[in-house]
Amino acid sequence: MQPSRQGGIIGMITERDTEHIGQLADIAIHREELASFTSRFNEILEYFDLLDQVEVVEEVEERAYNILREDEVTPSLSQEEALSNAPGNEDGFFKAPRVM
Amino acid sequence: MTVIVGLEIHCQLDTATKLFCGCSTDYRDDLPNSHVCPVCLGLPGSLPKVNRKAVEYALMVAKALNCEVPEESEFARKNYFYPDLDKGFQITQYDKPLAVWGYLDIEGDEGEKRVRITRVHMEEDPGRLVHKGGADRPKYTLVDYNRAGIPLIEIVTEPDLRSPKEARRFLNKLRATLEYLGVFDSEKEGSLRVDANISIKGSERVEVKNITSYKGVEKALTFEVTRQKNLIRRGQKIERETRHYLEARGVTQAGRSKEQEHDYRYFPEPDLRPLRVKSWLDNIVLPELPDARRERFMADYGCSLNHARTLTGELKLANCFEKVVASDKRGLSPLAATWIADTLIGELNYRDMNLDRIEPAAVTGLVLLLKAGTITDKSGVEVLRIMLDQQLKGEAAETPDAIVKRQNLAKTAGDTGAITAAIEEAINENPKALDDYRAGKGGALNFLVGQVMKKTRGKADPGELNRMLTEALKRREA
Amino acid sequence: MPGHTVSFHPDDRYSAFLRTVAEAPCGEGKLGGIRVAVKDNISTAGIETTCASRILQGYIPPFDATVVKRLKREGAAIVGKTNMDEFGMGTTTENSAFGPTQNPVDPSRVPGGSSGGSAAAVAAGIVPLALGTDTGGSIRCPAAFCGIVGLKPTYGRVSRYGLIAYANSLEQIGPMAANVTDASLLFEVIAGHDPRDSTSLDCPYRHIPDPEIRGVKIGVPEEFFGEGVDPRVASVVWDAISLLERKGAEVITCRMPSMAYALAAYYVTCTSEASSNLARFDGVRYGPPADTKRPWHEAFQERRREGFGEEVRRRIMLGTFALSSGYYGKYYAKAQAARNNVRADFERLFREVDVLAGPTMPTVAFRFGEKSDPLSMYLSDILTVPANLAGVPAISVPCGKVERLPVGLQVMGRWMEDERVVDVAYAFEQGGSA
Of B390-394, B408-412, C99-103, which range is least confident? B408-412
Is A2 contained in some domain? yes
The CA–CA distances, whole Å, from B12 to B185, B190, C147 equal: 8, 8, 55
Residue B267 sits at the chain C interface (C-beta within 8 Å): yes
In this predicted structure, what is the pLDDT of residue B287?
Answer: 95
Residue C284 sits at the chain B interface (C-beta within 8 Å): yes
Sheet holding C17-20, edge to edge: C17-20, C77-82, C35-39, C129-134, C172-177, C149-152, C394-402, C405-413, C355-359, C217-221, C250-254
Cα within 13 Å of Cα(C212), Cβ side: 2
Grade residue B404 by pLDDT with cuts at 50, 70 and 90: confident
Grade residue B372 by pLDDT with cuts at 50, 70 and 90: confident
Share of chain B above pLDDT 90, in %: 54
**Neighbour-count burial of C393, counting CB atoms closer than 10 A to its CB (0-12 exposed, 13-18 middle, 19+ buried):** buried
How do residues C31-52 score in pLDDT, each as one tens digit? 999 999 999 999 999 999 999 9
Of B256-270, B293-307, C383-397, which range is least confident? B256-270
- Which amino acid, B150? I
C43, C138, C159, C275: the active-site residue: C138
CATH 3.90.1300.10 correct for C1-434: yes
Q: Of residues B374 and B10, which shows the higher confidence score?
A: B10
Is A22 contained in some domain? yes
Grade residue A1 by pLDDT with cuts at 50, 70 and 90: very low
Handedness of CA A63, A68, A74, A79 (dihedral sign): positive
**Which DSSP symbol is given to B77?**
E
**Which DSSP symbol is given to C285?**
S
Q: Tell me, yes or no, if C138 is annotated catalytic.
A: yes
Q: Tell me, yes or no, if C118 is annotated catalytic.
A: no
Cross-chain CB nearest to C324 (options B45, B143, B265) = B265
Cross-chain CB nearest to B267 (options C62, C160, C272) = C272
In this predicted structure, what is the pLDDT of residue A2?
Answer: 45
| Closest to C402 measured CA to CA, from C360, C357, C343, C369 | C360
Shortest distance between the Cα of A3 and any Cα of chain B, in A, equals 12
Shortest distance between the Cα of B268 and any Cα of chain C, in A, equals 10
Coil, strand or helix: which one is B116? strand
Q: Of residues B330 and A48, which shows the higher confidence score?
A: A48
**In the predicted structure, residue B396 carries a pLDDT above the cut 60:** yes
Shortest distance between the Cα of B399 and any Cα of chain A, in A, equals 42
Residues of chain A numbered 30-69 and touching chain C (CB < 8 Å): 30, 33, 37, 40-41, 43-45, 47-48, 50-60, 63-64, 67, 69
Domain-wise residue ranges, chain C: 1-434
How do residues A5-55 score in pLDDT, each as one tens digit? 443 344 689 999 999 999 999 998 999 999 999 999 999 999 999 999 998
Shortest distance between the Cα of B215 and any Cα of chain C, in A, equals 33
- Which amino acid, C334? K
Asked whether B318 and B287 are in contact (CB, 8 A), the reply is: no
**Neighbour-count burial of C168, counting CB atoms closer than 10 A to its CB (0-12 exposed, 13-18 middle, 19+ buried):** buried
Domain count for chain A = 1
Grade residue B412 by pLDDT with cuts at 50, 70 and 90: low
Report chain C residues whose CB lies below 8 A from the CB of A27.
Answer: 301, 304-305, 308, 313, 316-317
Is A86 contained in some domain? no
In this predicted structure, what is the pLDDT of residue B444?
Answer: 84
Residue ranges of chain C with pLDDT lower than 50?
Answer: 1, 433-434
In this predicted structure, what is the pLDDT of residue C391?
Answer: 97
In this predicted structure, what is the pLDDT of residue B405?
Answer: 83
Of B128-142, B165-179, C369-383, which range is least confident? B128-142
Asked whether C82 and C38 are in contact (CB, 8 A), the reply is: yes
Q: Tell me, yes or no, if C152 is annotated catalytic.
A: no
Selected for mutation to probe chain A from C321, C376, C389 (highest A CB count within 10 Å) is: C321
Residues of chain C numbered 318-377 and touching chain A (CB < 8 Å): 318, 320-322, 324-327, 330-331, 334-335, 337-338, 340-341, 343-344, 347, 373-375
Residue B75 sits at the chain A interface (C-beta within 8 Å): no
Shortest distance between the Cα of B243 and any Cα of chain A, in A, equals 15
Q: Of residues B442 and B362, which shows the higher confidence score?
A: B362
Residues 6+ apart with CB under 8 A from C98: C18, C50, C52, C83
* CB pair distance less than 8 Å for C280 and B271: no
Share of chain B above pLDDT 70, in %: 97
Coil, strand or helix: which one is C30? coil
How many other CB atoms are found less than 10 A from the CB of residue A74? Answer: 12
What average pLDDT score do residues B330-354 get? 87
Handedness of CA B170, B248, C295, C280 (dihedral sign): negative
Rounded to 10°, the helix B360-371/B329-338 angle is 100
In this predicted structure, what is the pLDDT of residue A63?
Answer: 77
* CB pair distance less than 8 Å for A96 and B143: yes
How do residues C73-107 score in pLDDT, each as one tens digit? 999 999 999 999 999 999 999 999 999 999 999 99
Grade residue B378 by pLDDT with cuts at 50, 70 and 90: confident
Asked whether C311 and C270 are in contact (CB, 8 A), the reply is: no
**In the predicted structure, residue B309 carries a pLDDT above the cut 60:** yes
